[in-house]
Amino acid sequence: MRLFIAIPLEGAIKESLLSLQKQWYQLGMRGHFIPPEKLHLTLAFIGEYGNPDDIMGAISAVSFQPFTIQLDGAGNFHDAYWAGIAPNESLVSCVRRIRHALAENKIPYDRKKFAPHVTLVRKGDSPETMKKMLMNLPVSTMEVSEISLMRSDRGKNGMIYTPIGILEADK
């Protein structure tokens, strides 16, 4: 099964991202807009792996205090358009510890440098310049108190994301 570790987005930050998608659509952006229920911040992409219990066992030893993430900027990787997440030491430290736990347990994951972002549009095509798209960017925050192990399955209308395990912050 295809797996990844992520922070599901909710509350004001999610509403801000949906508003940004609407703004981009009104500016002429076309493509596959990520639906609200799929908005997330990926911390580690694992890919095909047969035993999610191994992953939960590995990351269950990772402890973290609740921390806040904040939207910060936007951009694109080719035809994928995203909103940035301001890096902060708590987020970076949490990602480092999760990835270390995966490596220690010989669970493969994509080792690309962590670049915190939320994909908003795939296969995007915009007649507008990024300069116009970067105007009026939202600045919202969200407290992170749990991280999810997510399963990704191909459905007839795109990918379906299902949380199959949760790592909770220390209380």
What does the pLDDT read at residue 134?
Answer: 80
Domain extent for 129: 2-168
Using one digit for the tens of pLDDT, what is the confidence trace for 67-112?
Answer: 999 999 998 888 999 999 998 999 999 999 999 999 999 999 999 9
Residue 147 in tokens: 């991280």
Pairing status of strand 67-77 against strand 40-48: unpaired
What does the pLDDT read at residue 139?
Answer: 86
For residue 71, what is the enclosing H or E element? Answer: strand 67-77
Q: Which stretches within 82-145 are classed as H helix?
A: 89-104, 130-133
What does the pLDDT read at residue 156?
Answer: 82
Residue 78 in tokens: 């080719």
Here the CATH number for the domain that contains residue 135 is 3.90.1140.10
The answer to whether residues 163 and 149 touch, using CB atoms and an 8 Å cutoff, is: yes
Distances (CA, A) of 25 to 31, 34, 125: 9, 12, 10
Residues constituting the chain: 171
Using one digit for the tens of pLDDT, what is the confidence trace for 5-40?
Answer: 999 999 999 999 999 999 999 988 999 999 999 999
The model carries a pTM of 0.92
Domain count, the chain: 1
